[in-house]
Amino acid sequence: MTSQNHSKQREPLIRMVKRDHLPAKKAWLIRIIGLLLALVVCAVLIFSITKLNPLKVYTTMFGGAFGSTRRSWQTIREAMMLLCVSLGLAPAFMMRFWNIGAEGQILVGGVATAGCMIYLGDKLPSILLFAVMLIGSIAAGALWGFLPAFFKARFGTNETLFTLMMNYIAIQLTSYFVAVWEKPYGSNSVGIINSDTNAGWFKPLFGQQYGWNVVIVLVLTFAMYFYLKFSKQGYEIQVVGESENTARYAGINVKHVIIRTMLISGAICGLSGFLAVAGSGHTISVSTAGGRGFTAIIVAWLSKFNSFVMILFAFLLAFLERGASEIASKFNLNDYASEMIEGIILFFVLGSEFFINYKLIFRTKEHAQNETLKEEAHS
Amino acid sequence: MILTQTAETKASAIQMRGITKTFGEVIANNSINLDIRYGEVLSLLGENGSGKTTLMNMLSGIYFPDAGEILVNGEPVIIRSPKDAFDLKIGMIHQHFKLVDVFTAAENITLGSQQKGRYDKKEVARRVREICSKYGFEVNPEQKVYTMTVSQKQTLEIVKVLYGGADILILDEPTAVLTLQETEKLFSVIRNMRADGKAIVIITHKLNEVLAVSDRVSILRHGEYIDTVNTKDATEASLTEMMVGKKIALNITRDDIPNKEKRLSVKHLSVMSPEGVKVLDDINFDLYSGEILGVAGISGCGQKELLESIAGLQKTEAGASILYYDASDAAEKQLIGTNPKQIRNLGIHLSFVPEDRLGMGLIGSMGMTGNMMLKNYADGKSLFLDRKQPKDLAEKIREELEVVTPGIQTPVRRLSGGNVQKVLVGREIAASPAVLLTAYAVRGLDINTSYTIYNLLNEQKKSGVAVVYVGEDLDVLLELCDRILVLCGGAVSGIVDGRTATKEQVGALMIKR
């Protein structure tokens, strides 16, 4: 390249600049615009591929999620599950500990719960049985959280790989227990546990089958909000997440905080395994976690670890999933079509976060600005 | 532009005219002019923070100047990226090497090269050897970087730049990491490259090296261009004067506090870096109440480790002792082996304003309130935070120190550098310290805020606090401090009286080797 080429070069066409701060109102406006744009893009896509009326598709989608009381409750149950896992992930991610092992933590919590139901279902009184199931699931999840935290604190191992690999151990463990508890023989599944006695099943609350799920998760939501925002331990988590050096400077025992926080994180994820088994599925399989451990990461980050905002995003994602599967069956589309819609909407929701954090500066504008600045300087 | 080429003046490689670069409020380079010529070694001399590296980074495409013009071979150019610099045959060897550890020398050399076609190992090795024999380098193309010594890595960086066809080489503090023999070897290579007609710039603050290797010296001070002189006309004394400047009267008050008491006694303090280099070497000194002890030195001479050792944040070598003498009962307390929490539990009021304000002293994402409780959030039995007290303190500091912030809940990261420092110093002083450690307390601050800080430190001194002031501006050190401890290469090269010492005296101690 010759130097003449260089003299022709100008500043880059578009530059990204990190925004200092955007008022909450504007940020929400950007999010809503993002959502609307997603719907428009989806509409174009739906029409051009399937020739269906997009509005009809959207109505069906909504109907799939909230069309009847039963459907609404299923969406609520799904949202509560997601919310519970997100609550578990929040303290870990706030500490900048990349816990992508929620999937495994849910599974081991579920396995512990199912084990208690199978072996103790007819031996213990109901209250005691629930206590053992609860403690078992929490302990199992906490162990799955403790191991990567211990190795990170002690030896500086990479928690991302560690938690990820713990997922595979949990999956293998689950398939082992599925084989042990197989019923009926040869079905390669555990089947509905205690279908005759309903031992260890959540009883309906306020006449609602999933009443307990809602109550437990909402209590946790409040607890996590106050824990992260107002407790000394929550403060420590924030400091460690911000800078380990600052934490050391403040006299915080960083290793201690890492292990403690991951015990909590794993425990809550384990608890969601308890909800999944005792509160809705009444069975255990390798798909009990169903990818929620990963979806919940999106929920936790989008809500910036604010428990109450998490409710909103948990519902959005639960709605998308239920609605998408509904249109797939209603319009005889295959699963990919509905997943595309889900994907496009998520893409735009996540994309709006980019525009909340960054602004784009175009060259022409920048030049004009520079010129005026120069003029001001001269005068 | 007309080049008048005489025997004296070599062909111009780069001309920088009126180059200005600012970072927020800080002016790193103010209208700098610089001339780099082929077949010549130019030293860029200046203290820490004088803007040398910033200036060169605008040639290597890392920064883009706010104003000014750059000419390469007489043609005006715009350098937007390292690739542009590469195309203009400008190569920079950074202080921190940019090599891939698990790659071999040859792989690192070809990394990022724009050559089309197949990667020909043999051809690369042949060309590397050719360059090596031409200039006297020793590089084994097959050696992995992680097995190399620091000096070998540096050699590799230079070869890499030459392999890319650079005619203009910029070396940022090349000797900082080298032993004496390695430095000699580097200089002979530099002389070979000069003989070959390359234009070479070395960024440095070591006067003996300037005199040994360069043809001309350009001096920067506080982001300003001072002068360019021929090395043969310069002496250490004349260069020192240009580098540190004439003594400026700052009119900082300095009271003499009677009845000083010994507060801290540091003995045989040595610290090893994680890489196994001795960064502090047998430090001994006493610190008294009612005094400001200045610590002077080129940056990276152990200042950080010294303060962090006292603050309980640094692992020290065996045999060290840091004794604290309590004012009330004169009880001796050993600080070695403690952490910040244990120091507080011993009842010692030790405040520390670290160099890295947002990375160590404060939590950038939190507001003033959240930052006020950083050190005492755990006080009391409650599981929950007491927000009332820190909130009141935040309001008080905001008012008394005139912190400019939209609100005490605004994340401190969004405040300007001076206000960030006011928050940090305010908190540390509010803890009513017996010992106050400060590192570069006025770095990057404007003149008014700097004086606010000096006044705060003086008030602390008057009330009997033992203050340590690690600084880089010799004028300030000489006007503010009662005594000045000079560090050089991790060792104490002298402790002088701040009232009688001269700038040249301290400057000489800083580079005593």
Q: Inter-chain contact A242–B364, Cβ cutoff 8 Å? A: yes
pLDDT tens column, B398-421: 998 888 888 888 889 888 778 898
Segment B483-505 mean pLDDT: 90
Domains of chain B from N-terminus onward: 12-244 (3.40.50.300), 262-349+432-510 (3.40.50.300), 365-426 (no CATH)
Nearest CA in chain B to A20: B414
- For the whole model, what pTM was predicted? 0.75
Q: Which residue has the higher pLDDT, A218 or B297?
A: A218
Give the Cα separation of A198 and A122 in Å (integer): 10
pLDDT category at B1 given cuts 50, 70, 90 is very low
Q: Which residue has the tokens 């009141």?
A: B392
Nearest to B77 among A3, A250, A251 (CB): A3
Q: Inter-chain contact A243–B373, Cβ cutoff 8 Å? A: no
* A14 in reach of chain B (CB within 8 A): no
Nearest to B169 by CA among B161, B177, B181: B161
pLDDT tens column, A37-89: 988 998 898 888 878 888 888 888 888 888 888 889 889 999 999 999 999 99
- Structure-block tokens of residue B98: 């940019």
Of A246-255, B2-11, B430-439, the least confident: B2-11
Is residue A132 a contact partner of residue A247, using CB atoms and an 8 Å limit? no
Evaluate if residue A8 carries a pLDDT over 70: no
B156/chain A closest Cα distance in angstroms:
26
For chain B positions 307-366, those within 8 Å of chain A (CB to CB) are: 311, 313, 339-342, 344, 352, 354, 356, 358-366
- According to the model, what pLDDT value does residue B3 have? 43
C-alpha torsion sign, points B266, B268, B273, B279: positive
Segment B313-331 mean pLDDT: 87
For chain B positions 55-84, those within 8 Å of chain A (CB to CB) are: 64, 72-73, 75-80, 84
Give the Cα separation of B360 and B371 in Å (integer): 11
Q: Which of B350, B369, B383 to mutate to test the interface with A (most CBs of A within 10 A)?
A: B383
Q: Inter-chain contact A251–B375, Cβ cutoff 8 Å? A: yes
Nearest to A7 among B78, B366, B378 (CB): B78
pLDDT category at B276 given cuts 50, 70, 90 is confident
Nearest to B78 among A9, A245, A251 (CB): A9
Q: Which residue has the higher pLDDT, B3 or A120?
A: A120
Q: Inter-chain contact A6–B87, Cβ cutoff 8 Å? A: yes
Half-sphere exposure of B100 (CA within 13 A, CB side): 11
- According to the model, what pLDDT value does residue B436 have? 95
Tell whether ipTM is more than 0.90: no
Evaluate if residue B512 carries a pLDDT over 90: no
Helix (H, G, I), strand (E, B) or coil at A163: helix
pLDDT tens column, A243-289: 999 999 999 999 999 999 999 999 999 999 999 999 888 889 888 88
Nearest to B377 among A235, A242, A249 (CB): A235
Q: Inter-chain contact B340–A249, Cβ cutoff 8 Å? A: yes
Segment B457-477 mean pLDDT: 90
Evaluate if residue B74 carries a pLDDT over 80: yes
Which chain B residues have a beta carbon less than 8 Å from that of A20? 414
Which chain A residues have a beta carbon less than 8 Å from that of B365? 238, 242
Q: Inter-chain contact A235–B384, Cβ cutoff 8 Å? A: no
* Cβ-based neighbour number of residue B172 at 10 Å: 20
Segment B2-13 mean pLDDT: 60
Segment A302-309 mean pLDDT: 90
- According to the model, what pLDDT value does residue A364 have? 59
Give the Cα separation of A221 and A314 in Å (integer): 12
- According to the model, what pLDDT value does residue B373 have? 92
- According to the model, what pLDDT value does residue A11 have? 59
Q: Inter-chain contact B366–A238, Cβ cutoff 8 Å? A: yes
Nearest to A112 by CA among A292, A339, A273: A273
Which residues are within 8 A (CB) of B499 and not within 5 positions of it... i.e. 6 or more apart?
Answer: B254, B482
- According to the model, what pLDDT value does residue A333 have? 75
Q: Inter-chain contact A246–B72, Cβ cutoff 8 Å? A: no
Q: Inter-chain contact B373–A235, Cβ cutoff 8 Å? A: yes
Q: Which residues of B380-417 are buried (b: 16+ CB within 10 A; e: fewer)?
A: eeeeebeeeebbebbeebbeebebebeebeebbeebbb
Is residue B190 a contact partner of residue B204, using CB atoms and an 8 Å limit? no
Segment B62-77 mean pLDDT: 89
Mean of the per-residue pLDDT values of chain B: 86
For chain B positions 364-423, those within 8 Å of chain A (CB to CB) are: 364-366, 370, 373-375, 377-378, 382-385, 387, 414
Evaluate if residue A378 carries a pLDDT over 90: no
Q: Which residue has the higher pLDDT, A145 or B53?
A: A145
Angle (CA) A311 A312 A314, round 5°: 65
Nearest CA in chain A to B364: A242
Give the Cα separation of B471 and B465 in Å (integer): 18
- According to the model, what pLDDT value does residue B107 have? 87
Segment B485-499 mean pLDDT: 91
Evaluate if residue B302 carries a pLDDT over 80: yes
Rounded to 5 degrees, what are φ and ψ at B62? -85, -40
Mean of the per-residue pLDDT values of chain A: 86
Nearest CA in chain B to A374: B67
Nearest to B87 among A1, A248, A251 (CB): A1
Segment A112-138 mean pLDDT: 91
Segment B335-339 mean pLDDT: 89
Nearest to A277 by CA among A146, A141, A147: A141
Helix (H, G, I), strand (E, B) or coil at B48: coil
Helix (H, G, I), strand (E, B) or coil at B485: strand
Q: Which of A1, A13, A249, A257 to mutate to test the interface with B (most CBs of B within 10 A)?
A: A249
Q: Which of A1, A4, A5, A6 to mutate to test the interface with B (most CBs of B within 10 A)?
A: A6
Nearest to A6 among B78, B311, B383 (CB): B78
* A242 in reach of chain B (CB within 8 A): yes
Which chain B residues have a beta carbon less than 8 Å from that of A254? none
Q: What DSSP assignment string belongs to B304-353?
A: HHHHHHHTT-S---TT-EEEEE-TTT--EEE-TT--HHHHHHTT--EEEE
C-alpha torsion sign, points A339, A342, A345, A347: negative
Give the Cα separation of A302 and A354 in Å (integer): 11
- Estimate to the nearest angstrom the gap between the alpha carbon of B480 and the chain centroid: 21
Segment B102-106 mean pLDDT: 89
B339/chain A closest Cα distance in angstroms:
7
DSSP state of B33: E
Segment A361-377 mean pLDDT: 53
- Give the bridge partners for B225, in sequence order: B220
Is residue A228 a contact partner of residue A221, using CB atoms and an 8 Å limit? no
Nearest to A6 among B84, B359, B374 (CB): B84
Which chain A residues have a beta carbon less than 8 Å from that of B414? 20-21
Q: Inter-chain contact B359–A230, Cβ cutoff 8 Å? A: no
Evaluate if residue B479 carries a pLDDT over 80: yes
A241/chain B closest Cα distance in angstroms:
10
pLDDT tens column, A128-137: 999 999 999 9
C-alpha torsion sign, points A364, A369, A370, A374: positive
A132/chain B closest Cα distance in angstroms:
27
pLDDT category at B114 given cuts 50, 70, 90 is low
Nearest CA in chain B to A1: B87
Q: Which of B313, B369, B374, B389 to mutate to test the interface with A (most CBs of A within 10 A)?
A: B374
- According to the model, what pLDDT value does residue A15 have? 66
Q: What DSSP assignment string belongs to A281-319?
A: I-S--TTSSTTHHHHHHHHHHHTTT-HHHHHHHHHHHHH
* B284 in reach of chain A (CB within 8 A): no
